[in-house]
Structures are given as C-alpha cells and as structure tokens.
Amino acid sequence: MSATERENEIRTDVLILGGGPSGISCALECADSGLDHLLLERSQKFGGQLDEIPGPIPNLPAGNFHASGKDLSYAMLEHALSFGCRLEADVDILEADLENLSLRSKNTVYRSRALYIAAGARYREPTFENQARFKEYIHHRHYVENRHFEGRDLIIVGGGDSAFFAALAKANLAKSVTIIHRSSNFKTREDIRKLVQSDPRIEIMPNYEIISLTGEKRLEAVILKSTTSSEEHRRKADVVYAKLGYVPNSELFCNQLEMTASGHIKTDERLRTSKAGVFAGGDIVSPGYDRISVALGHGSLAVKFIRQCLSRNQA
C-alpha cells in the first residue's frame, strides 16, 4: 500500500455499501443500536432507485403516503441524519477485498469488521448492432419524455411486466406499438397480459429479436430475426424502447462471493454471504423480488446478525 493510500485509511465497525433504501435502513438500525458505521454511496444523492419512481408508491405499507420516490428518499435521508447516521455521498467504490473486509475508492481505503452490501441494481442496457449511430432513438430508462413517443412507430423490446406496462402507457401516444420478445414465454402478470393482448393498438411479436437498426439520417426500421427459424423481417420503427429488466450491481464481488446465475449474491436466512463478516440485502440479492419493503427489511434485519457476528469475534 502506498503512503498516500495509508493517509486515506478509514476504519469503522460496519461498512455499508450503497445509499438506497436497504443501505439507509441498515445505517438507521446501526445508529439506533449504537454501532459504529459508515455508509458509502457513489452518487451525489441518496435514495438509489427511488429517484426513478415518479408517482405514488402503491405497495408501500406506509399509510397514506402519496409522495414520489424522490420525496420518500428525502424523508428517509432526513430521518437518518436526525438519528446520527454516518453517510458519505460521492464515493464510488472501485475495488473490494472481502478477505480483509475492505473497500477502496479512488483515494481512500475503508476497513471494517463487518460489511453490508446494498449496492442494488440498474437497468439492463440493450446492445443492438448500430446502436451508437441511433442512440437518440433508443431509450431504456423508466422516465422518458412523451415527446419521444408521440405519433411514432414504437418498438418495445422485452417480455416482462415493464415491457407490457410501457406498451399500455404509450398506446395512446404512439402511432403504433409493437412488443418484440425473443421467446413466447412472457413473464408478466396475467391481468396485464390480458389487457395488452386485448388492446387493438398493440401488436405482440413473440420469438423475434432485433439484430440491427437501420435508417439514412434517423432510425427508420429495425431488422428482426426469428429465434425459431432463419426468417428475417424489416419493421418500420421511429423509436425503440428497451425494457429488459434489471441487473444486480455485483460485478465487484463476482470472484469473491457465491452468486446465482443471474449475478445476484447468494445469502442464507441471516443475510450472510459465502464470506465471513459479509452480509448482503435488497435488490442485489433478490432476483425478481425488487421491492422497497424487502430492501428496507433486509437492511434492518442484517444488523441483528451483524451484531451477533461482531460480538462473537470480540469474544
């Protein structure tokens, strides 16, 4: 380790990676039980994916809470600060050494006695041929201004709830809506699937994938290839909306922790990972169960087991 790195060494009992709901909930529980802790967040704001939730959160058991995800994250942050939580924003963790329970940013090494990984998930970005050329006509985030879809031939890619919700939401705006999915197995809620299937404004094309994008000055069409035959098909398109789900932010740990095939960190019922002293919770461990309530619950529960782990190590 160089002299400069030694100067920037920070020690704490519990390091928390990620300032979304799960990390904040863990920090709150640490503060409440008098545990020395530090939460690190790469963004300049706290709240993680809450920032992307534009409207009321229907499934949050928080009474009459009609605010947006942003409002919820402000409320959580304010509460955490009033509780004396130690939170640091704008710290991008670039390396993890789980054997030694340490995390490293550009200038600082953080060492701890226990680590809670709550690094969450992000949108899966599409990778189409010619994507760079047509990037202004390809969207994948949740919030996209309506003007990008108004009066356009819209191709939605994906076979899950978010693709089907997007189709329903854009059907009134777009000139045409087509859902393209690489298989005929749609992972959608049945009620939403029925709504889409019975909507004359929406066409569904199962067993196709986009192999390239084409156009002179702007996007004019997508080239589709059947996934069950060699058939190719050109379809008019002004805009592509890729709703391909989420991927866990677990790359830092891939050679150090046991993971599922989807890249989620494996934990036991005590939120312990395969490495001693390392716990994980929230979206990074929850394939297909990405919920604020789950993330909050994990963050809080982890502290119970972290405390047990710390007191065992002290004995």
- Residue 135 CB, shortest distance to ligand FAD, in Å, is 21
Which residue in this structure is represented by tokens 């994980």? 280
* Closest by CA position to 17, among listed 245, 265, 216: 265
Q: In this complex, which beta carbon is closest to ligand FAD, that of residue 120 or of residue 159? A: 120
Q: In this complex, which beta carbon is closest to ligand FAD, that of residue 159 or of residue 213? A: 159
Contact pick of 295, 301, 309, 310 for ligand FAD (by CB under 6 A): 295
- Under rule CB under 6 A, which residues in 236-275 are in contact with ligand FAD? 249, 252
- Residue 134 CB, shortest distance to ligand FAD, in Å, is 24
Distance CA 80, CA 72 (A): 12
Helix ranges, the chain (H)? 3-7, 21-32, 69-82, 161-170, 190-197, 292-314
Distance CA 178, CA 189 (A): 18
Q: At what angle do helices 190-197 and 161-170 cross, to 10 degrees?
A: 40
Q: In this complex, which beta carbon is closest to ligand FAD, that of residue 96 or of residue 223? A: 96
Distance CA 109, CA 104 (A): 4
Q: Is 159 an interacting residue with respect to ligand FAD (CB under 6 A)?
A: no
Secondary structure class of 62 (helix, strand, coil): coil
Contact pick of 176, 206, 290, 300 for ligand FAD (by CB under 6 A): 290
Q: Work out whether strand 14-17 and strand 232-236 pair parallel, antiparallel, or are unpaired.
A: unpaired
Distance CA 33, CA 87 (A): 16
The values of phi and psi at residue 178, to 5°, are -125, 130
Q: Is 223 an interacting residue with respect to ligand FAD (CB under 6 A)?
A: no
x/- mask, ligand FAD, residues 11-30, rule CB under 6 A, reads ------xxxxxxx-------
Q: Is 120 an interacting residue with respect to ligand FAD (CB under 6 A)?
A: yes
Q: Contact region for ligand FAD (CB under 6 A) — 50-58, 180-188, 211-219, 265-273?
A: 50-58
Q: Contact region for ligand FAD (CB under 6 A) — 35-43, 76-84, 183-191, 230-238?
A: 35-43
Q: In this complex, which beta carbon is closest to ligand FAD, that of residue 148 or of residue 291? A: 291
- Residue 117 CB, shortest distance to ligand FAD, in Å, is 9
From edge to edge, which strands make up the β-sheet containing 153-157?
138-139, 239-242, 153-157, 176-181, 202-206
Contact set with ligand FAD (CB under 6 A) = 17-23, 40-43, 48-50, 52-53, 57, 59, 92-93, 118-121, 142, 249, 252, 282-283, 290-293, 295
